[in-house]
Amino acid sequence: MVDYFALALSHGLLVLAVWHLAWRRDLDEDPAQPEPETVEPAEPRPSQPGLRIRA
Amino acid sequence: MLDLAITGFTLAFLALGLRQPFLWVLAYLYIDILTPQKISWSLLASLPISLIAFILAFGGWLVLDDKRGTRFTLRQALIVVLLAYCGITTTIAEFPVEAAEKWSWVWKALLFAIFLPLTLRTRLRIEAVVTVMVLTVGAILITGGIKTAAGGGGYGQLQTFVPDNAGIYEGSTLSTIAIAMVPLSWWVARFTTIFPRGKLVTLFAAALTFAALLIPVGTQTRTGLLCIALLVVLSLRSVKRRFLYLGLAGLVAVAAIPFLPASYTKRMSTIENHQSDQSASTRVAVWMWTLDYVKDHPFGGGFDAYRSNRLLVPTVKAEGTDNNVTLTTEYHVEEGRAYHSAYFEMLGEQGYPGFALWAWIQLLGVWQMERLRRRWKDRKAAHQAWVAPLANALQLSQLVYFLGALFIGIAFQPVMFMIIGLQCGLWSYCRRIDAPAPRPVLPGASQLRTSAT
């Protein structure tokens, strides 16, 4: 009886998994991922924030 | 009814491969782990179902699968060399008939470990392999766990689906594999895209973990208990709330002791006092014999070379009470005793070169998983966050195996070679997707070059 339960539970989940996998497109190819965000070059900062260069 | 259901499931699994050939790879995993042909007694038992699944898996990959980006890794090459080496030692084995029998399943395990990574081209395929392994081993764990909880079991007595005490169905081996599967089942629970993630999946992983922890109790194997302890310690590295985790682990351990059968606690107490335990003394004697044997046979004696051993095994017995204890050493002769350790199995059967190759394949896995773990641990995007935890889980499984392998002759255990195949596949996959994109040609670069000439 216990064997039947264990087989039914595990095989039930295997059926779900395998059936699901059979129709998944990404089994053969990973979905395209968004391009990594390009980091905008930051504004050049003055080396000492408190100081201003006079023209 | 059971026969019909198992046969129907296996054949339907293979039939579904016509829609998606990669499913044949999964079918082979299922058949090789569970051996449904041994559970069934009619059609399935009469078919070479494992061979059919392997031919379909390999043929499907060869003819129908896309092979772009497929890489052959160093570890796969090492397994090829080990396969060839074992083939040679089999031809010159000390016990040719027995060696040929072991070779008949070892070559399949090694060949599949070489082949599996070639098919693991996508994240979903890697996940599918882990899931099928967890569920298939899970079938054995569920039945073993329930029977143990209901008071069944005993050393060499816990029966699951197959009555023979061999392969994955052998008590110590099952205990080691059960504990090795725990990290993988939690990885599935956290990152599955096959099942809807949520409480049900977490509950299943928790129940499976509980069943896995019960297996060493049901089989009354000391190896399993040590594996649990090792996994608890190793998991400290990756859990977030370490003190809470340790407290809970301690609480569970203390709470579990009163419920353990007396025969189990009695057997576990011999871990410390191994001198009075005959089986432990025999192991030590076999190991000493192997060290001597390999000095005379540096290239090993081929599979099952242990059959030539003849050992004088000492057992120390204590008689008397507290302050008046008399220790007496008794000797008895043992013949043809198995290695009871994968390390000595490799050394005795395949000699120094075989042992070195095997150790290289294993240790390289630990190192590669560590590299992946460190490299990917800070990547939190949904399509990347699964890598580091999987590398961690595969590493933990392997380390648990290393400990179990100290006391069991499981150097060529097919499930462990599947884990090696998975590691190779993950390593190869990550190297491919992590490779720097080709540099874009700078606009105007050709003009610059032209103007310079």
Using CA atoms, how far apart are residues B11 and B8, in angstroms rounded to an integer?
5
CA terminus-to-terminus distance, chain A: 91
The alpha-carbon gap from B246 to the nearest alpha carbon of chain A, in Å, equals: 31
What is the largest distance, in Å, between two alpha-carbon atoms of chain A?
A: 91
Determine the pLDDT at residue B59: 94
B16 neighbourhood in chain A, CB within 8 Å: 18-19, 22
The pLDDT of A2-23, averaged and rounded, is 93
Cβ distance of A7 and B161 shorter than 8 Å: yes
Residues 6+ apart with CB under 8 A from B416: B177, B180, B398, B401, B410
What is the largest distance, in Å, between two alpha-carbon atoms of chain B?
A: 101
Cβ distance of A22 and B16 shorter than 8 Å: yes
Q: For residue B324, what are the β-bridge partners? A: B321
Compute the CA torsion angle B99, B54, B80, B131 (nearest 10 deg).
-110
Q: What is the pLDDT along chain B (453 residues), one digit of tens a residue?
A: 778 889 999 999 999 999 999 999 999 999 999 998 888 777 778 888 999 999 999 999 999 888 887 889 999 999 999 999 999 999 999 999 999 999 999 999 999 999 999 999 999 999 999 999 999 999 999 999 998 888 766 666 677 777 777 788 888 899 999 999 999 999 999 999 999 988 999 999 999 999 999 898 888 888 888 999 999 999 888 888 888 888 888 888 787 777 677 777 766 766 655 555 667 788 888 999 999 999 999 999 999 989 988 887 777 777 766 667 777 777 778 788 889 999 999 999 999 999 999 999 999 999 999 999 999 988 888 888 999 999 999 999 999 999 999 999 999 999 999 999 999 999 999 998 887 665 555 555 444 444 443
Backbone angles phi, psi at A36, to 5 degrees: -60, 135
Please, what's the b/e burial string for B340-375 (b: 16 or more CB within 10 A of its CB; e: otherwise)?
bbbbbbbbbbbbeebbebbeebbebbeebbeebbee
The DSSP string of chain A is -HHHHHHHHHHHHHHHHHHHHHT-GGGTSPPPPPPPPPPPPPPPPPSSTT-----
Q: Which of B124, B131, B142 sits opposite A27 (nearest CB)?
A: B124
The DSSP string of B254-298 is HHHGGGS-HHHHHHHGGGT-GGG-HHHHHHHHHHHHHHHHHHH-T
Residues 6+ apart with CB under 8 A from B153: B144, B147, B217, B218, B219, B220, B261
**DSSP H or E stretch at residue B313:** strand B310-321
A-B CB pairs within 8 A amount to 95
Supply the ipTM of this predicted assembly.
0.85
Q: Which of B23, B66, B146 sits opposite A21 (nearest CB)?
A: B23
Determine the pLDDT at residue B442: 55
Q: Which of B19, B125, B131 sits opposite A17 (nearest CB)?
A: B131
Residues 6+ apart with CB under 8 A from B431: B71
Contact yes or no for B317/B364 (Cβ under 8 A) = no
The alpha-carbon gap from B205 to the nearest alpha carbon of chain A, in Å, equals: 12
Cβ distance of A14 and B194 shorter than 8 Å: no
B131 neighbourhood in chain A, CB within 8 Å: 17
3 state SS of B330:
strand
Scan residues 384-403 of B and list those with Cβ closer than 8 Å to A. none
Q: Which two tokens stand for residue B69?
A: 């980006």
